[in-house]
Amino acid sequence: MTTLASLMSLEGRRALITGGAGHIAVAMAETFAEMGADLILVDWEAMQLDALAARIGDTWGRSVTIHACDLGNETERLAMIAAVKADGCGLDILVNNAAFVGTSGLSGWVVPFEEQSLDTWRQAFEVNLTAVFHLSQAFLPLLRAQGCGSIINIGSIYGELGPDWSLYEGTAMGNPAAYGASKGGLLQFTRWLATTIAPDVRVNAISPGGVVRGQPESFVGKYISRTPMRRMAVEDDFRGATAYLASDASAYVTGQVLRVDGGWGIW
């Protein structure tokens, strides 16, 4: 009899997570390590990952490899890809988690549509979509060779739904066109790739709702009022979804977008 424990085990597998220093990435890395996987963590500044790698090693005894890589830079992506391929340890799971989210102080980003710049549009697409295409293509031979390959793309509710501008009134927050458009492209790429590389490798996406990040009270109140679960997400909310999509528990699941949004997208 196949047990749920065996389906959920990642023993002997290896997962690469981009944007590895991010809040959700940390939760995913800890989850995969608990399930038995070794890890490759990628972020633009590797020093941010040292403490996480040490904690995972001490707690679960898993191997953690760190790579510094600006995913918006093709040359750096190529160097990271070559290093992963050269270490000879293979790859079973690719989590495209890194995202260009910008800041309110970035020129041409959180400004009226007429003022949003081509430069920030290009930067967002390079990280949020082009890098995902590049890494998925480059690592496909490794994922195929393992016989249980899984790609998980981290999208957004704003890749599926339009923004409610009333949420942002009275705050410095915004919702740039490039973010939603690039995340929408990522979700369609998920579907396209799933049909293209099946049955060797599965491809799915998670579409997160708003995550608590110290947003202004006015924003949080409005957001919660239109969320069925009556709260914003926290990092632990993403552990189950990533564990499911990475493991054999979802062996017959591909091309899907799993919303982890507290019901936001129901309305």
Look-up of token digits 């085990």: 9
Structure tokens at 58: 């001490």
3-class secondary-structure state, position 176: coil
Whole-angstrom distance, CA of residue 260 vs CA of residue 92: 23
168 is catalytic: no
Considering just the CA atoms, what is the radius of gyration of the chain in Å?
18
> Residue 24 corresponds to which amino acid?
I
CA distances from 43 to 71, 91, 220 (A): 8, 17, 29
Residues 6+ apart with CB under 8 A from 23: 211, 213, 235
Cα 57-61-64 angle, rounded to 5 deg: 50
Whole-angstrom distance, CA of residue 93 vs CA of residue 86: 17
Beta partners for residue 257, in sequence order: 205
Among the options 158, 179, 223, 244, which is catalytic?
A: 179
Q: Which helix (H) or strand (E) holds 74?
A: helix 74-86
8 A C-beta contact, residue 178 and residue 124 = yes
For the four alpha carbons of 26, 142, 241 and 249, in that order, the dihedral sign comes to negative
Name the residue among 57, 68, 54 with its Cα closest to residue 20. Answer: 68
Biggest CA–CA distance in the chain, Å, is 60
Active-site residues, by number, are 179
